[in-house]
Amino acid sequence: MPSIKSLAATLATAIVPFALAAETIHESEQASFSVETVASGLEHPWAIAFLPDGSQLVTERAGRLRVIRDGKLEKDPVAGVPEVAARGQGGLLDILLHPEFEQNRLLFLSYAHANDAGMTTRVARAELNDNNLENLEVIFEAEPRSDTTRHFAGRMVIPDDGYLYVTVGDRGEMDRAQEFGDDAGAVHRITIDGNTPDDNPFADRDDARKTLFTKGNRNIQGMTLHPETGEIWSHEHGPRGGDEVNVIEAGTNYGWPEITYGINYSGTPITDQTHKEGMAQPLHYWDPSIAPSGMAFYTGEDFPDWQGDLFVGALKMQKLVRLELDGREVTGEEDLLTDLNKRIRAVTMGADGHLWLLTDAGNGEVLKLVPTER
């Protein structure tokens, strides 16, 4: 029978590796950091929002809105979430708080919805009171619907102009991205009540949807505001190669599928053109594809050398990408967290000044990056 001393030594050696693993230090070119797990047990979390009281709201693609309070995931989801079609890539997607949330309690949810005519992307507005969504109203619905279960997009931002910008993917039917009478493959601009601003770039075209702000976008799953210029930056999935980073500008056609740096998943060409007059070039692209999702500019104080860098999550390549910028020019690129082996769905600057991540898995996690000593 082993002695108490030998048992204690065995226990100590078992505990030490676990403790070291919990404090794994990740080295960037410009920073040293660890990854803190805030919450786990989420079913394919998609987006996160930070409430004024310091708690967080997280969407699960299965159709639940969860609350993290005081660092703990609450058991009961928020009541009153709209009916969601969690099929294929569809489900409950983005969440965005109104800039004056403290006063009006308004938030916005994007999600996939299904009926007899097929599936589509919707946006609903509601008031959050206690643990309930009240006065929920659908303020945007992309038309026409489709039977496909792909490329719903769904990212949202509200810049300084006070309008809501929402992305809609091409629904896996690429030619729709160049059809101006179709809501697919685009960024849309609406008021918070769901009305169409009079100065939308295609509002005077008889053949165009009035809410269109851009066209030729394949599937934008990252969108954020530049902290200094207020510009809307985005990235979108390419097919096999050709993921893009773009600045979203009124009336711009981003070219999909008439121009692309990618090819079909089968290996066959989509087009032999990467440039075309009247269509925008990306600021940056990846080939092979990293399957980008989520993006944020770093504006915190923990990592001074990261100030102004753009961070992008990767699903397929399972990493966090840091892009160094000089204005709109990408001057450097670094891959981080390649050893986590986790699909990164969302990248968000938290109200606490930390960079927060969501991992896309059946047992998805909420993570944040915290500084460590080199």
151 included as an active-site residue: yes
pLDDT tens across 82-108, in order? 999 999 999 999 999 999 999 999 999
**Residue 7 pLDDT > 90:** no
Q: Is the per-residue pLDDT at 19 higher than 70?
A: no
Strand partners, 123: 110, 140
Supply the Cα-derived Rg of the chain in whole angstroms: 21
Task: Give the Cα separation of 129 and 217 in Å (integer).
Answer: 36
d(CA 212, CA 231): 17
- Mean pLDDT (the chain, rounded): 94
Annotated catalytic residue: which of 44, 98, 113, 151? 151
Task: List, in order of start, the domains of the chain with CATH numbers.
Answer: 44-291 (2.120.10.30)
> Tens digit of pLDDT for each residue in 275-326?
999 999 999 999 999 999 999 999 999 999 999 999 999 999 999 999 999 9
Residue 15: which pLDDT band, with cuts at 50, 70 and 90? very low
Q: Which amino acid is at 229?
A: T
Rounded Cα distance, 229 and 231, in Å? 5
pTM above 0.95, yes or no: no
